[in-house]
Amino acid sequence: MSEQGTSAQGTSQGSTVLTTGTGKEQARGHAGGFLAGPVGRNLGLVLALVILCVVGIATAGDRFADVDNVLTILRLASVIGVVSVGMTFVIIGGGIDLSVGALVALASVWATTLATQQMAEDVHWIVMVFTALVVGGVAGLVNGVVIAYGRLAAFIATLAMLAAARGLAEIIANRRTQIVRDRDFLSFFSGDVLGVPTLVIIFALVAVAGWVLLNRTTFGRRTFAVGGNAEAARLAGIRVQRHTVKLYVLSGICCGIAAVMLMARTTTGSSTHGTLYELDAIAAVVIGGTLLIGGRGTIVGTVLGVLIFTTLGNVFTLNNLSSSAQAVARGVIIILAVLLQQRVATGGFSFRRPGSGSSSGGPALPGSPSGAVSGGTTAAGGPGGARPAATGKTL
């Protein structure tokens, strides 16, 4: 991967997604600073978030800087944040999961049916949590098996799951909003520990677990390898298909967790839960610096991406602005964050050499042959790896 950032290949839009901080990425590989690496890498995002906060304080003053308000932002970010962490793994692994929103809906509905709630009442509310996680995990398993062994494109397979899961949720719920009656469940999840809402703690735990899993385990290295170059990964002895299945199961379980959190937040299960989460999560993941074609990405970036969008919504509401204006700002932020990210981390080099390989959108994608030439050294060792254009996406 390092050749893309340092050489002149990263010149056109295709590679702008994240041509940043590749040196730092390697440094992080062994030095392992939890903050130093990711923050350096995500400076652009941090900057965007800081600017947003400054705007918030300037326009809404005390109301924005208020502890309650910050906790509200974090609480609202937590559900989509958990989904986005799962999505980060899938995207780094070279796939995409369009079904996350529908899975959140399905898990929330399944976990709040009268039967489940009755069982939860008889046993313990953990039954509801368990149900949601299992539903999410199994749906993810179906996704993974269809993609890995059925050889369907991830886009199509999860698109099918998106439709089917939401339809099933509607059938189960009969299009009704199912109220959660278990007070213990609600008070546990909507409570707080030392002033920090439980939902935020869950989000933090999931994010930290995701970071460790991605950066400190074989599983994480394999994820990078599979997403970077599936063929090279296979040759390096990674069971690519099995690993792909695991990634989708992971994403599904994250959806299950998110469903539980959403049930606590709204006190309901509903087939309308999680609408458009797939797009929110993908947006957060991508502005967080994860390559849409896989092989590279960070959890910290994703978390920052989620926080930026949630803070944006909050600042707009504090200033009594319309949701339409917010949507425009959202679009602008996606572009700005990615640009900033690239500028800050690379010293603004991106427009210096517009000549090479930028004649059309395609050639300068990291999948281009030039990237593959020098990158074939470490297939399983890290986020590097050759990427013959054709194989990267066909997991």
Task: Determine if 74 is a binding residue for another protein (CB under 8 A).
Answer: no
Judged by CB, which is closer to another protein: 222, or 265? 265
Task: Determine if 317 is a binding residue for another protein (CB under 8 A).
Answer: yes
The window from 46-54, 168-176, 249-257, 381-389 that contacts another protein (CB under 8 A) reads 168-176
Task: Determine if 190 is a binding residue for another protein (CB under 8 A).
Answer: yes
Distance separating alpha carbons of residues 151 and 157, to the nearest angstrom: 9
Distance separating alpha carbons of residues 363 and 321, to the nearest angstrom: 41
Task: Determine if 164 is a binding residue for another protein (CB under 8 A).
Answer: no
State the DSSP code for 177.
Answer: P
In the complex, least distance from residue 253 CB atom to another protein, rounded to whole angstroms: 20
Find where tokens 């400190």 sit: 216
Task: Determine if 72 is a binding residue for another protein (CB under 8 A).
Answer: yes
Task: Report the residue from 4, 99, 198, 268 that binds another protein according to the rule CB under 8 A.
Answer: 268
Task: Determine if 195 is a binding residue for another protein (CB under 8 A).
Answer: no
Encoded amino acid at 48, one letter: A
Task: Determine if 329 is a binding residue for another protein (CB under 8 A).
Answer: no
In the complex, least distance from residue 187 CB atom to another protein, rounded to whole angstroms: 11
Task: Determine if 314 is a binding residue for another protein (CB under 8 A).
Answer: yes
Question: What are the residue ranges of helices labelled H in 42-113?
Answer: 43-60, 62-65, 67-92, 100-110
Task: Report the residue from 39, 47, 145, 170 that binds another protein according to the rule CB under 8 A.
Answer: 170
Distance separating alpha carbons of residues 181 and 60, to the nearest angstrom: 37
Task: Determine if 168 is a binding residue for another protein (CB under 8 A).
Answer: no
In the complex, least distance from residue 91 CB atom to another protein, rounded to whole angstroms: 24
Nearest to 136 by CA among 167, 170, 111, 171: 111
Task: Determine if 318 is a binding residue for another protein (CB under 8 A).
Answer: yes
Judged by CB, which is closer to another protein: 52, or 293? 52
In the complex, least distance from residue 98 CB atom to another protein, rounded to whole angstroms: 18
Judged by CB, which is closer to another protein: 69, or 113? 69
Distance separating alpha carbons of residues 355 and 348, to the nearest angstrom: 16
Task: Determine if 66 is a binding residue for another protein (CB under 8 A).
Answer: yes
Judged by CB, which is closer to another protein: 62, or 122? 62
Task: Determine if 313 is a binding residue for another protein (CB under 8 A).
Answer: yes
Distance separating alpha carbons of residues 212 and 204, to the nearest angstrom: 12
Find where tokens 């099933």 sit: 168
What is the CB neighbour count within 10 angstroms for residue 292?
A: 15
Burial call 372-390: b when 16+ CB within 10 Å, e when fewer: beebeebbbebbbbbbbbe
In the complex, least distance from residue 175 CB atom to another protein, rounded to whole angstroms: 5
Judged by CB, which is closer to another protein: 218, or 317? 317
Task: Determine if 57 is a binding residue for another protein (CB under 8 A).
Answer: no
Task: Determine if 113 is a binding residue for another protein (CB under 8 A).
Answer: no
Question: 208 to 267, contacts with another protein by CB under 8 A?
Answer: 262, 265-267
Task: Determine if 187 is a binding residue for another protein (CB under 8 A).
Answer: no
Distance set, CA 120 to CA 111, 130, 185, 262, 348 (Å): 9, 10, 9, 17, 56
Task: Determine if 165 is a binding residue for another protein (CB under 8 A).
Answer: no
* Beta strands 178-179; 196-197: pairing state: unpaired
Beta bridge partners of 37: none
State the DSSP code for 383.
Answer: S
Task: Report the residue from 118, 323, 359, 394 that binds another protein according to the rule CB under 8 A.
Answer: 323
Task: Report the residue from 177, 356, 358, 374 that binds another protein according to the rule CB under 8 A.
Answer: 177
**What long-range pairs does 50-56 form, CB within 8 A, spacing at least 24?**
52/308, 52/311, 52/312, 52/315, 52/333, 53/311, 55/315, 56/311, 56/314, 56/315, 56/318
Distance separating alpha carbons of residues 148 and 163, to the nearest angstrom: 20
**What long-range pairs does 232-235 form, CB within 8 A, spacing at least 24?**
232/376, 232/379, 232/380, 232/385, 232/386, 233/379, 233/380, 233/385, 235/379
Task: Report the residue from 30, 35, 68, 195 that binds another protein according to the rule CB under 8 A.
Answer: 68
Q: Which residues bind another protein (CB under 8 A)?
A: 60, 63, 66, 68-69, 72, 75-76, 170, 174-177, 179, 190, 262, 265-268, 270-275, 313-314, 317-320, 322-324
